[in-house]
């Protein structure tokens, strides 16, 4: 069968009805196709869509004058064969065969880098350039950043600033140090000590990881965090990850013993959102529940530049969906990420930057490598030794990607330097800007 992504077909039947067909083979003179046996309508034409690599689009060919005969009939489907002398069909098949043959040859004879370089312009020669370690990688990305004049002009328009304390070494340091000392250390640690954002006032601290259920403070540390934040006029917001079934009793227990009533909790699991609602707290829709296409390698996807605007909207733009979230869970805020393009924000949105999540595993991949010797050997990490305190997965420097915890992240560095890009977010009036420096 021909892959549907490179050649698809439809029968244009009577009454303006359309029946998709499965094309089994293709040649310059015709092709066999399969339809369900239940399809009995007469049809007037066949509409074909050929993928054209050069244009990164589909080329439509409509066949009307064809010879057709039945080749096979089974209990479930019927196979027909059509033949045609239509010139645009012959030209489209010739082009498709040439492009597909080149792809197969590269797939069989070359490595993945050469294939990507030839097919999509990917800079395979840069895949050998890695930072020696995470601190050096972070320094290369952030140290010496120079926001342009337009970015500096956006400073008065920035929403209230929040900082994510998403791992133990951060919230432990926050508990131990006075407010001013902690944030000076925080910005310097990530190479942003001289960036204008380091001189802005932080109003919120987001405590906990959206991705790993093991990266959430123990009850005693959580109480100390909340009380310290309140003493220093900061508002604490708790961030929760996916909720495994055996973790439900633990989540119910710490929800009952939170030090404050009606706290704001960012939920990345529908079950957790229900528990938060029942406990009388305020749920926020997290980034894992706001699904969208995001990848540091999207720039190398053929044709993506022409269709990037189509990535701006997801299900959360539907008014009835937001109404359901509000009615069912009391959700008023949805979390977004700066991920290489500007999404359409919903009212009252939170924006996370500069890191954005692209993949999250149900079980920790870092634990699988360090403890079991392979990413594929993932198991439940009930007694987690927190390898993520010292280890990360490094990727080629030019990709701006990092693997940490059980997730893979991209870094959208433009949000910290490009004023026009930042202003495209600010013009949609987000509620908060959450800095999540891993």
- What architecture (CATH level 2) is domain 7-109? Beta Barrel (2.40)
pLDDT band at 121 (very low <50, low <70, confident <90, very high): confident
What local confidence, expressed as pLDDT, does residue 267 receive? Answer: 96
pLDDT band at 97 (very low <50, low <70, confident <90, very high): very high
Reply yes or no on whether the pLDDT at 23 is more than 80: yes
Reply yes or no on whether the pLDDT at 306 is more than 80: no
- What whole-number distance in Å separates Cα of residue 238 and Cα of residue 73? 61
Average of pLDDT values for 119-131?
88
Average of pLDDT values for 269-287?
95
Residue 406: closest CA among 238, 271, 131, 213: 213
What local confidence, expressed as pLDDT, does residue 56 receive? Answer: 81
What local confidence, expressed as pLDDT, does residue 209 receive? Answer: 94
Could you give the percent of the chain with pLDDT greater than 90? Answer: 65
- What whole-number distance in Å separates Cα of residue 428 and Cα of residue 277? 28
What local confidence, expressed as pLDDT, does residue 246 receive? Answer: 85
Instruction: State the chain's mean pLDDT as an integer.
Output: 91
DSSP code of residue 32: E
By CB atoms closer than 10 A (0-12, 13-18, 19+), residue 280 is exposed
pLDDT in tens, 137-168: 999 999 889 999 999 999 999 999 999 999 99
Backbone phi, then psi, for 148, in 5-degree steps?
-75, 175
Reply yes or no on whether the pLDDT at 14 is more than 80: no
- What whole-number distance in Å separates Cα of residue 306 and Cα of residue 299? 11
Sheet of 393-394: strand order equals: 355-360, 407-411, 401-404, 393-394
DSSP string for residues in 326-390: HHHH----BEEE--SS---PPTT-EEEESEEEEEE-SS-HHHIIIIISSTT-----TT---GGGT
Average of pLDDT values for 73-84?
92
Backbone phi, then psi, for 25, in 5-degree steps?
-160, 170
pLDDT band at 225 (very low <50, low <70, confident <90, very high): very high
Average of pLDDT values for 279-290?
95
Average of pLDDT values for 239-244?
92
By CB atoms closer than 10 A (0-12, 13-18, 19+), residue 233 is exposed
Residue 80: closest CA among 89, 92, 69: 69
Which helix (DSSP H) or strand (DSSP E) does residue 319 occupy? helix 319-329
**Following CA atoms 118, 121, 123, 124 in sequence, which dihedral angle do they give, to the nearest 10 degrees?**
-20
Q: Which of 238-242, 295-299, 349-353 has the lowest mean pLDDT?
A: 295-299
What local confidence, expressed as pLDDT, does residue 55 receive? Answer: 81
pLDDT band at 280 (very low <50, low <70, confident <90, very high): very high
270 by DSSP, 3-state: which?
helix
Q: Which range among 114-128, 133-147, 303-317 has the greatest average pLDDT? A: 133-147
Could you give the percent of the chain with pLDDT greater than 70? Answer: 100
What local confidence, expressed as pLDDT, does residue 286 receive? Answer: 96
DSSP code of residue 167: S
Backbone phi, then psi, for 222, in 5-degree steps?
-65, -45
- What whole-number distance in Å separates Cα of residue 84 and Cα of residue 91? 12
What local confidence, expressed as pLDDT, does residue 177 receive? Answer: 94
Cis before 337? omega within 30: no
By CB atoms closer than 10 A (0-12, 13-18, 19+), residue 54 is exposed
Reply yes or no on whether the pLDDT at 61 is more than 90: yes
Reply yes or no on whether the pLDDT at 302 is more than 80: no
- What whole-number distance in Å separates Cα of residue 135 and Cα of residue 190? 8
- Domain ranges across the chain: 7-109, 134-435
Average of pLDDT values for 403-414?
94
């Amino acid at each position: 069968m021909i892959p549907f992504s490179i050649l698809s077909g439809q029968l244009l039947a009577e009454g303006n009805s359309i029946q998709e067909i499965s094309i089994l083979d293709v040649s310059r003179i015709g092709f066999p196709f399969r339809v369900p046996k239940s399809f009995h309508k007469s049809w007037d034409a066949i509409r074909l869509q050929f993928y054209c690599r050069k244009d990164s689009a589909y080329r439509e060919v409509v066949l009307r004058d064809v010879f057709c005969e039945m080749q096979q009939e089974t209990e479930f489907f019927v196979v027909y064969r059509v033949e045609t002398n239509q010139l645009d069909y012959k030209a489209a098949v010739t082009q498709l065969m040439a492009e597909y043959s080149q792809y197969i040859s590269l797939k069989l004879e070359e490595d993945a880098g050469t294939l990507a370089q030839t097919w999509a312009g990917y800079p395979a020669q840069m895949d050998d350039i890695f930072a020696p370690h995470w601190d050096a990688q972070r320094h290369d990305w952030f140290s010496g950043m120079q926001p342009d004049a337009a970015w500096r002009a956006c400073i008065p328009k920035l929403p209230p600033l929040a900082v994510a304390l998403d791992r133990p070494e951060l919230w432990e340091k926050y508990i131990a140090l006075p407010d001013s000392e902690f944030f000076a250390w925080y910005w310097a640690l990530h190479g942003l000590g001289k960036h204008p954002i380091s001189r802005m006032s932080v109003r919120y601290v987001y405590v906990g990881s959206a991705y790993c259920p093991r990266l959430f403070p123990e009850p005693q540390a959580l109480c100390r965090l909340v009380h310290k934040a309140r003493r220093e006029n900061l508002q604490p917001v708790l961030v929760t990850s996916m909720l495994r079934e055996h973790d439900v009793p633990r989540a119910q227990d710490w929800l009952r013993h939170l030090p404050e009533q009606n706290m704001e909790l960012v939920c990345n699991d529908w079950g957790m959102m229900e528990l938060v609602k029942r406990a009388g707290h305020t749920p926020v829709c997290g980034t894992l529940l706001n699904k969208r296409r995001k990848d540091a390698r999207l720039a190398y996807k053929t044709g993506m530049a022409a269709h990037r605007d189509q990535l701006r909207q997801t299900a959360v733009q539907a008014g009835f969906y937001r109404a359901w979230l509000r009615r069912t869970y009391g959700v008023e805020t949805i979390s977004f990420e700066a991920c290489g393009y500007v999404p359409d924000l919903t009212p009252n949105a939170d924006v996370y930057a500069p890191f954005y999540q692209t993949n999250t595993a149900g079980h920790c991949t870092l634990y699988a490598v360090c403890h079991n010797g392979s990413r594929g050997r993932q198991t439940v990490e009930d007694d987690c030794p927190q390898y993520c305190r010292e280890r990360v997965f490094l990727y080629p420097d030019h990709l701006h990607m990092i693997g940490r915890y059980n997730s893979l992240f991209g870094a959208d560095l433009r949000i910290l330097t490009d004023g026009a890009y930042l202003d495209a977010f600010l013009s949609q009036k987000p509620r908060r800007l959450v800095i999540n420096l891993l």
